[in-house]
Structure 1
Amino acid sequence: MKEIKFSLVYRDMWQASGKYVPRKDQLAKIAPVIIEMGCFARVETNGGASEQVNLLYGENPNEAVRTFTKPFNDAGIQTHMLDRGLNGLRMNPVPADVRELMYKVKKAQGVDITRIFCGLNDVRNIIPSIHYAKAAGMIAQATMCITYSEIHTVEYYVNMSEQLIAAGADEICLKDMAGIGRPEMLGKIVKAIKTAHPETIIQYHGHTGPGFSVASMLEVAKAGVDYLDVAMEPLAWGMVHPDVITIQAMLKDAGFKVPEINMNAYMEARRLTQSFIDDFLGYFIDERNKFMTSLLIGCGLPGGMMGSLMADLKGVHAGINSYLKGANKKELSTDELLVMLFDEVKYIWPKLGNPPLVTPFSQYVKNIALMNVMFLVKGQPRWSMIDKNSWDMILGKAGKLPGTLDPEIIALAEKNKLEFFEGNPQDNYPNELDKFIAEMKELGWDRGKDDEELFEFAMHEKQYRDFKSGEAKKRFEKELEAAIKEKYATSTIELPDLRALKYPNAEPVVSNATGRVIWELDFNEVSVEPVHGKEIKEFDTLCTIQTNYGLEHIGSFCDGRIVGIEKKQGEVVRKGEVLAYIEKK
């Protein structure tokens, strides 16, 4: 009788639902109850964006990680984290010395297993982390991002697993981040790996968004999987993961050996989790993430993106309909625009080399598709605006794309005088720890136990500075206050797009990121807003958005003149909002 063990993805449950994760005091409350449930051999405690999120609401992530891991360490339950290989715990690449330090810090904080993935499935970005993790005493779980295309076949994944195991991976994870891996294919992948390497532990992680995940779990169990990632209500299903009760019952009936669930503890964990939602976390959970949708099957976007995607769509929707109304054309409903976006993602994905649609590359593909839809509606060419991060992906600076770029994308790069990169992505990012060590000494900041504060500063520089200054907490309190007001607002009247009415002959420039607006610098390096009527050339930088992960440059889509500025210097802008209006020449 084959034994299947469960891992509770408590971190990912929250991040697939909304923006924030529980505070340290809340994690301290839920940990002993999770242990009392008696059915989990592993718990996902941290990683991904969760530690950055701690900083964003003014909490020290190192204290949160130690608080959450200790009860599980004491109970003999393994803890695991998610890391993004070359990108570490952030959206952009990390120097090698900072990556190496991460595993030493996380092992010291009580994290047993690191789940290492590359959003492009480039093993060159995973293998160094395997070595760093093992040297630090962690279990290196090398991860394959599952998606569905002509390129991403059973043979593709089996070959990738062979490279990872040969490089020293202790375990293999199938990360089905969008839940679009077909059950039969997943079963074949697991069976092939287990046949060749029966001693290698395999774990399956699948979101429920498009509806395949329960069937997928049964198939991989039959094929020999060892661990399944599960969730629990009230954050199961929807865009999250299947509930442990359902999976346990299914496997038990199929003849597998599975642990029993202490239902009294389950209900208490359920109650506590709901109390965290009621406290403040629920104000940042999009209701749409509670539902499954088969629309995700075609486009392959991860369910966890639906909240941000709908927010982006809302911002662009008003601008598109304003244009259509002015052109005496039929306006689009949100559903029509959503279908157009999904179709565009499906169309451009192979042209962009089939990057697995996982953070951050899912965001890049979605951003390009969203801009394409906006320009196509206006009768303008596809690819009129591609942001810098997306270009870095296309040019190979983050790793090798699985597929082949379409000739029109290659021609567009050549037109813009952009060079393709074929070397090791890590070579683009030299070591930086010495710089951070020197600054912490100068500022009198403690490097922390096991250098954990040094690590956080180097990994999340901007967010750590804001945390130390208190700005992060102040900003979060304002954000929470605004979210509460919005939640309880009684008005349902939708105001017309007054901005577009002010500039009937102009078109909007839309932000492709959320952050603070930085306008051009004068000769004293003082940021100034452009004057009304200023001439601007196509592709010229209009302004820059300071995001959580770096700078995004916003270019002009045409030759023209600036007739309206909608965002002031230093003002926070959300992705999809209008920055300015340009009147074409």
Structure 2
Amino acid sequence: MEKEVKFSLVFRDMWQSAGKYVPRVDQLVKVAPAIIEMGCFARVETNGGGFEQVNLLFGENPNNAVRQWTKPFHEVGIQTHMLDRALNGLRMSPVPADVRKLFYKVKHAQGTDITRTFCGLNDVRNIIPSIGYAHDAGMISQCCLCITYSPIHTVEYYLNMAKQLIDAGCDEICIKDMAGIGRPVFLGKIVAGIKKIKDIPIQYHSHAAPGFNMASILEVCKAGCDYVDVGMDPLSWGTGHADVIAVQAMLKDAGFKVAEINMTAYMKVRSMIQEFMDDFLGLYISLRNRMMNSLLVGPGLPGGMMGSLMADLETNLESINKYKAKHNQPLMSQDELLIKLFDEVSYVWPRVGYPCLVTPFSQYVKNLALMNVIQMEKGKERWSMIADDIWDMILGKAGKLAGPLAPEIIEKAKAEGRTFFNDNPQDNYPDQLDKYRQMMQEKGWEFGQDDEELFEYAMHPAQYEAYRSGKAKADFLADVEKRRAEKNAGGMNTKEPQVLTVDVNGQPYRVTVAFGEVDPAKLGGTQAAAPTAQAAAPAGEGKDILSPLEGKFFLVKNAQETPVKVGDKVNKGDVICYVEAMKTYNAIRAEFSGTVTAICVNSGDAVSEDDVLMKIA
């Protein structure tokens, strides 16, 4: 009897692996019937991780998007699955246990069938609680082995991990080859070994960029894999996934039973994807992410992260070249920065204990490497800027690292008075739902159907507040207009700041959009008549606290923290605010003791390197 292999369309990850955003809910609802009409998918990845945050960045409600997007697939019996970051839930930083439990209840009620849980450290202590949460909510628990290639990550390592998860009651195993660097024979041995432990459903997820994944798909299917994740044109290959047409043809020729593809419907979906890209999503997609690149075999960076990496590089390249221009040094090209980054990732990764390069730890390693490159290009020392979330990974607060830390990292931790942690990571993050309930009641906000608004606020507090105020949508629409103007040069005078008016649910916002290097004094910022809009404190006397990098300014990163106010006394070394960059909150500390005399930007505002954030006298 022919072995059957079923296909899952990773529609969410296709977009995330290409660029910054996924389609809006109206676009998702439009494309769903054509995906169904293709007739070849047993499963569709609908949400998870970046999907939730992207909707908040749009200024849209992600709960509404999940409900509408999953509904048509349910009606025809196609299973929906989502990505869960275990201890980190749907965000980049750890989540309290009560929020994790509510997460499962909410997502099942919204229409998600399968939760694909992974820990970037492959620490089963972070994954196993999610098995129980999924079962309690009525969901299928699919647990991941995050694949990487190192002296530590052997076949035996992965089989031992799989056995622990199976013994803990998971329903399925996902071989999450997020960077596509798993060698084909190596992966086949893992799948065959798992099937000997238990004949459990196995799903293979892989990215195409390094060039291994078609051979890997064939090997894992020969070893007994049941489901294969696929993409489709024009968002297949490159940093994305193998196209369903090629995978289907290869497996069919190899003697596997596979579903037929309705090519008329395929072309409909293909046309719609291009339509969405032409609308605005293509403004956030680097052409480099559409290409295969064997250089990725070395650093092993995941496809889902490469989508945003090129945008990050553009921003940081500008910062580096501003410095070089001021110091009469030759400017750097993007290719030069990319190679320096890849080399630095290869240097950093083993020294911070070989965390699997998957969210959030791929971002942590990449961010740390990029910060090292930036600092060294500006004449500073390596390791001179390490975000607190990255320290938590290094210190063991997020889970056990696979390998040992380099002596230079241990010495730096000791020099800064940081302590290592060996107990259960969840113990570091106490329950918080009651606090968020109180905050919502004080604001007059409803908890929402199935407590979904409470969940969203607790999971993404800063982004949720920006969404509720209308600021998120105003900033997003302004950024789209800026990018369109840059693309269509000549349609707008790009040498001077432009004042645009954007409409957010009937509320007009005046937004100043700057192109290139401009005088900050000419910028008016984002202004809104909405009562929730917060005015920046007037500038007072004192020394400037400057932003060390480009990103978004926040006074706090969660409800446990109390924001600094004008008039507060602070001590040298105190955390006074954050700059969120590349999905990581970078703590800004007081450089001296004194009194805060001015807070010069609003929470959620974009800031550039060397912008004045606060004044302290």
TM over 0.5: yes
Q: Which residue of 1 aligns with 2:113?
A: 112
Q: 1:527 to 1:550 in 2, by over 3 A?
A: farther
SS in 2 for 1:299: coil
Given that residues 187 and 220 in structure 1 are in contact (C-alpha distance below 8 angstroms), is that contact kept between their aligned partners in structure 2? yes
1:111-139 C-alpha deviation (Å, 9 max, x unpaired): 11000011111111100001100111100
Between the aligned partners of 1:524 and 1:121, the Cα distance in structure 2 is 37
Between the aligned partners of 1:496 and 1:434, the Cα distance in structure 2 is 45
Q: 1:110 to 1:569 in 2, by over 3 A?
A: closer
Given that residues 546 and 611 in structure 2 are in contact (C-alpha distance below 8 angstroms), is that contact kept between their aligned partners in structure 1? yes
SS in 1 for 2:149: coil
1:398-436 C-alpha deviation (Å, 9 max, x unpaired): 111111101111011001111111111111111111222
Displacement after TM superposition at 1:325 (Å): 6.0
Displacement after TM superposition at 1:213 (Å): 1.1
Q: Which residue of 1 aligns with 2:481?
A: 481
Between the aligned partners of 1:149 and 1:509, the Cα distance in structure 2 is 39
Between the aligned partners of 2:607 and 2:119, the Cα distance in structure 1 is 25
Displacement after TM superposition at 1:440 (Å): 3.0
Displacement after TM superposition at 1:488 (Å): 1.5
The code of the aligned residue for 2:190 comes to I
Given that residues 210 and 292 in structure 2 are in contact (C-alpha distance below 8 angstroms), is that contact kept between their aligned partners in structure 1? yes
Given that residues 518 and 569 in structure 1 are in contact (C-alpha distance below 8 angstroms), is that contact kept between their aligned partners in structure 2? no
User: Does residue 1:385 correspond to 2:382, yes or no?
Assistant: no
SS in 2 for 1:389: helix
Between the aligned partners of 2:270 and 2:106, the Cα distance in structure 1 is 31
Q: Which residue of 1 aligns with 2:458?
A: 458
User: Does residue 1:514 correspond to 2:534, yes or no?
Assistant: no
Displacement after TM superposition at 1:280 (Å): 2.2
Given that residues 117 and 142 in structure 1 are in contact (C-alpha distance below 8 angstroms), is that contact kept between their aligned partners in structure 2? yes
Q: Which residue of 2 aligns with 1:526?
A: 566
Q: Which residue of 2 aligns with 1:544?
A: 578
Given that residues 233 and 270 in structure 1 are in contact (C-alpha distance below 8 angstroms), is that contact kept between their aligned partners in structure 2? yes
Q: Which residue of 2 aligns with 1:235?
A: 235
Given that residues 367 and 512 in structure 1 are in contact (C-alpha distance below 8 angstroms), is that contact kept between their aligned partners in structure 2? no
Structure 2 residues without counterparts, runs of 5 or longer: 496-514, 520-544, 557-562, 593-598
Given that residues 9 and 45 in structure 1 are in contact (C-alpha distance below 8 angstroms), is that contact kept between their aligned partners in structure 2? yes
Displacement after TM superposition at 1:320 (Å): 3.9
Between the aligned partners of 1:547 and 1:296, the Cα distance in structure 2 is 23
The code of the aligned residue for 1:267 comes to M
| Larger mean Cα displacement after TM superposition, 286-295 or 86-95 | 286-295
Q: 1:290 to 1:509 in 2, by over 3 A?
A: farther
Between the aligned partners of 2:423 and 2:80, the Cα distance in structure 1 is 35
1:93-121 C-alpha deviation (Å, 9 max, x unpaired): 11111100111111111111000011111
The code of the aligned residue for 2:195 comes to K
Q: 1:578 to 1:296 in 2, by over 3 A?
A: farther
The code of the aligned residue for 1:474 comes to A
User: Does residue 1:255 correspond to 2:255, yes or no?
Assistant: yes
Q: Which residue of 2 aligns with 1:570?
A: 602
1:308-345 C-alpha deviation (Å, 9 max, x unpaired): 33333334434544555666655433222221211111
Displacement after TM superposition at 1:58 (Å): 2.0
Q: 1:37 to 1:571 in 2, by over 3 A?
A: same
Displacement after TM superposition at 1:351 (Å): 0.5
User: Does residue 1:38 correspond to 2:39, yes or no?
Assistant: yes
Displacement after TM superposition at 1:464 (Å): 2.1
SS in 1 for 2:434: helix
Q: Which residue of 1 aligns with 2:21?
A: 20
**Aligned residue pair count:** 554
Q: Which residue of 2 aligns with 1:563?
A: none
SS in 1 for 2:46: strand
Displacement after TM superposition at 1:526 (Å): 1.9
SS in 1 for 2:383: coil
RMSD: 3.1
Given that residues 163 and 197 in structure 2 are in contact (C-alpha distance below 8 angstroms), is that contact kept between their aligned partners in structure 1? no
1:461-514 C-alpha deviation (Å, 9 max, x unpaired): 222222223222222221221121122125999x99899xxxxxxxx9774562
Q: 1:219 to 1:35 in 2, by over 3 A?
A: same
Displacement after TM superposition at 1:386 (Å): 1.4
Displacement after TM superposition at 1:375 (Å): 3.3
Displacement after TM superposition at 1:23 (Å): 1.9
Between the aligned partners of 2:70 and 2:516, the Cα distance in structure 1 is 50
Given that residues 142 and 171 in structure 1 are in contact (C-alpha distance below 8 angstroms), is that contact kept between their aligned partners in structure 2? yes
Q: Which residue of 2 aligns with 1:420?
A: 420
Between the aligned partners of 1:444 and 1:580, the Cα distance in structure 2 is 34
1:151-179 C-alpha deviation (Å, 9 max, x unpaired): 11111111110111111110000111111
Q: 1:58 to 1:375 in 2, by over 3 A?
A: closer
Q: 1:379 to 1:22 in 2, by over 3 A?
A: closer
Displacement after TM superposition at 1:27 (Å): 1.7
Q: Which residue of 2 aligns with 1:212?
A: 212
Q: Which residue of 1 aligns with 2:510?
A: none
Between the aligned partners of 2:612 and 2:441, the Cα distance in structure 1 is 42
Between the aligned partners of 2:330 and 2:224, the Cα distance in structure 1 is 54
SS in 1 for 2:372: helix
Q: Which residue of 2 aligns with 1:294?
A: 294
Q: 1:512 to 1:258 in 2, by over 3 A?
A: farther
| Larger mean Cα displacement after TM superposition, 57-66 or 239-248 | 57-66
Q: 1:433 to 1:571 in 2, by over 3 A?
A: closer
Between the aligned partners of 2:232 and 2:147, the Cα distance in structure 1 is 23
Q: 1:379 to 1:18 in 2, by over 3 A?
A: closer
| Larger mean Cα displacement after TM superposition, 322-331 or 333-342 | 322-331
Q: Which residue of 2 aligns with 1:503?
A: none
Q: Which residue of 1 aligns with 2:135?
A: 134
SS in 1 for 2:180: coil
